Amino acid sequence: MAVGPVQLIVLGFNHPDFHGEVIAELEELRNSDTVRVIDALAVYKDARGEIEVEHLSNLSTEEAVELGSKIGALIGLGIEGEAGMEAGAAAGAEAAASGLQAFSDQDAWDILAEIPDDSAAALLLIEHHWAVPLRNAIARAGGYRISDGFISPFDLVTIGLATAAEAKELHDIEMAAA
């Protein structure tokens, strides 16, 4: 099975008040085979900056066992206590010894440092199934990804895809908790 493009999305919450809406929407996307949640973590950061991590996922038990904690491995977060950190360090050392370097120091993204104290974040590692045929067509044409990113609602106004009122409404929705 081809693996679709994978994206790590980090969502902040000042006072998380989950009612299952996010998980329900992820389930709908999974049922339509649009995306697959590879891994999902909730990270709570107290006022002193100490973190607590909890797994969130819509993976089946078999998928969870097969995939393990991919976000923890990706960002260097030891989820399973000291044993988990040691396993992650060993895997990283093995990858480095074989010449594989996922991120340079210049490219490093310290996700945990970006989470404000006394807040929470949901980290979602999502595989985009819908994009597999597009990615493959691009590759067959000799193309490759240079960069990607989400566009601010306000930037959509400047290119005529949203009115100022629509952009403000979208921005307000995104920033309601902030």
Confidence band for 134, pLDDT divided at 50, 70 and 90: very high
Backbone dihedral angles phi then psi of residue 76, each to the nearest 5 degrees: 75, 35
Q: Is residue 147 one of the residues assigned to a domain?
A: no
Q: Is residue 167 one of the residues assigned to a domain?
A: no
Say if residue 138's pLDDT is above 90. yes
Q: Is residue 154 one of the residues assigned to a domain?
A: no
User: So what's the pLDDT on residue 106?
Assistant: 45
Contact yes or no for 56/40 (Cβ under 8 A): yes
User: So what's the pLDDT on residue 151?
Assistant: 84
Confidence band for 136, pLDDT divided at 50, 70 and 90: very high
Confidence band for 156, pLDDT divided at 50, 70 and 90: confident
Give the range of the structural domain holding residue 23, as residue numbers without chain letter. 6-131
Spatial CA neighbour of 54 closest among 36, 76, 79, 71: 79
Contact yes or no for 45/117 (Cβ under 8 A): yes
Q: What secondary structure letter does DSSP report for 65?
A: H
User: So what's the pLDDT on residue 165?
Assistant: 92
Q: Is residue 177 one of the residues assigned to a domain?
A: no
Q: Is residue 36 one of the residues assigned to a domain?
A: yes
Q: Is residue 84 one of the residues assigned to a domain?
A: yes
* Cα 141 from Cα 122, distance rounded (Å): 36
Domains of the chain: total? 1
- As given in the structure block, the two tokens for residue 44 are 């709570």
Decide: pTM greater than 0.85: no
Contact yes or no for 69/88 (Cβ under 8 A): no
Q: Is residue 80 one of the residues assigned to a domain?
A: yes
